[in-house]
Structures are given as C-alpha cells and as structure tokens.
Amino acid sequence: MLRRTALALALLPTLAAAQGGVNTTVSAGNVGRNPALAGVSIEQKLGARPPLDVALVDDEGKATNPGRLLRGRPIVLLPIFYRCTGVCTTEMQGVLHALRENPKLKPGRDLDVVVLGLNPTETPELAAAKKAEYVDQYGDRKTADGWTFLTGAETNVRQVAEALGDHYTYDRAKNQVNHPSAVMVLTPEGRVSSYMLAGMYPAGRFAEDVARAAKDQIGVQEETSWLGCVHTDPVTGERSIAVQGVVRLLAVMVVLAILATMVVQSRRSRATA
C-alpha cells in the first residue's frame, strides 16, 4: 500500500505535465520560458462596452452583431474556442454548474449566455453543435433562445475581445489560439460589470454578479492571477499555462483516496488482531 501511495505522489507532476503544465499566474519569467505567452493577458476593463456594430455570425449562420445581442438582460460572455479541450471546457462547465445551482436564473429569461468563438476557422455549424451539446447538458431545451454561440472573421472577433480586455494570440500556421480564461458578466446595456478569472464559477458569486449586472452596476476588479489556454509545442516541449488545472485536483484526489483506504485497512487489521 505504501508503494502505491508513493507511486501516486510521484505521478502528480507527470499528470500535470501531460496536460501541458499548470500555472495560475503569468510573469516575465513565464514569458521567457514560453514565448507563446507573449501577448496573452487579461485587462480588466470594468465599464467598457464592445463596439455594437461589428459583424459576427450566430449559431444559425445568420449575420448579427453585439448590439443585436442586447435584449434587456445581463449577458454572461465566454471568449473561448469550440475545439478546445482545456480551460475552455472548464469555463463552460463552471457556468453550467452555476446555472444548475441557481434554478431561478434561466437563460433567455433572466440572462443570456453568449460564447464568442476566437478561432476564425471554426464554423457556425460547429458553433451550433456546441450549443446543442451545452443546452442538452443544462437540461432545459426551452432555454435555447438564451444561448448564442458566435463565430466571425479574425479581425472582427478580435475587435470585440480586445474591447473587453481579452488579449489573445492566433497562430495561423498551427491554427492555434492562445488565450486567457475570462468569463465576463455584462449589463443589459453591454458594459462589463464583472470578470471571473479562476476557471470555475462559484454558484453564489455567479448569482451576485448577475444580480449586480441586472441593476446596471459595475463591480470591482478580480485578483490579478488567472488561468489560460496556451498550447504546448510538441517539438520544443514548451509547456503551457493552466491548460487543465482540474487534472492536478484529480491527481490529489487519487492520493487522498489511497490514503483513506490505507486508514480503513489499518483499522480493520487492528480490530481483527
């Protein structure tokens, strides 16, 4: 049993490395070790509003713009990309969890969920598939009108993201998006009321942020540490920042489970001795 525990502890860094490495902050040292981090940051622009007339495409393949998404409700906005399997998924699951834990907040009635696709090669068809997937996971298809998954030309999407303080890079040759994680809650008029930078969204705070935005109020700045999705270079082996912090948590849970088993078996051994 002790050997298995030692093995699990030894695997912790390996599990993290397999996912591209885990960090929660960005510093000059990080950038020096991984040039892919250059240009990736989150600038908290509380009170800012994206340009309302930028041409985008919704998940039905129809032309739209940020102005048309203002429907008199707060907006929970996620700038991600649809093929991402790292922190983008963590953010989406965090919002899903927060919505499930706040059943009185219904998309399409009390708020709107808007996903801004950062990868310019991804299509409205892919956006539609992702929308169907997450609405199904949410468990209430009647709320579908409250979910919008956007795509658009690189310059247009970047214009919206930059206006909200989401600074990301796109490697056209590798078709890779390196971006910070940031869920933004906008007021009904489209101004940034708050940011959530930690990947997962606590249900209580989610309700508070939406309520504040609904009153057209602006919150306070989030702590400066943030997660991000920056790809590992398969050639150089350079590691990314926080691709899946969940992996570290799962690894720790494995160790704790093994330790708990050891305690139970030890007590049983003493009881039968």
Q: Kindly report, residue by residue over 114-141, the tens digit of the pLDDT.
A: 999 999 999 999 999 999 999 999 999 9
Contact 179, 82 (CB under 8 A): no
Domain 26-229 belongs in CATH node 3.40.30.10: yes
Residue 268's pLDDT band (boundaries 50, 70, 90)? Answer: low
pLDDT of 146 strictly over 80? yes
Residue 179's pLDDT band (boundaries 50, 70, 90)? Answer: confident
Long-range contacts of 49-52 (CB under 8 A, 24+ apart): 49/163, 49/186, 49/189, 49/190, 49/191, 49/192, 50/159, 50/160, 50/163, 50/164, 50/190, 51/159, 51/160, 51/163, 52/190
Mean pLDDT for 184-209 is 94
pLDDT of 11 strictly over 60? no
Residue type, position 270, single letter: R
pLDDT of 214 strictly over 80? yes
What is residue 124's predicted lDDT score, i.e. its pLDDT? 98
Contact 179, 78 (CB under 8 A): no
Contact 123, 81 (CB under 8 A): no
Q: Round the average pLDDT of the chain to a whole number and report it.
A: 80
Residue 71's Cα: distance from chain center in Å? 24
What is residue 41's predicted lDDT score, i.e. its pLDDT? 87
Residue in the structure block whose two tokens are 């790809």: 231
Structure tokens at 59: 């998940």
The Cα–Cα gap between 178 and 41 comes to 10
pLDDT tens sequence across 65-114: 999 999 999 999 999 999 987 888 989 999 999 999 999 999 999 999 99
What is residue 38's predicted lDDT score, i.e. its pLDDT? 72
Contact 178, 230 (CB under 8 A): yes
Of the candidate ranges 84-98, 146-160, 180-194, the one whose mean pLDDT is the lowest = 84-98
Considering only CA atoms, which of 202, 164, 203, 204 is closest in space to residue 77? 164
What is residue 94's predicted lDDT score, i.e. its pLDDT? 94
Per-domain residue ranges for the chain? 2-17+245-272, 26-229
pLDDT of 254 strictly over 90? no
Residue type, position 179, single letter: H
What is residue 242's predicted lDDT score, i.e. its pLDDT? 41
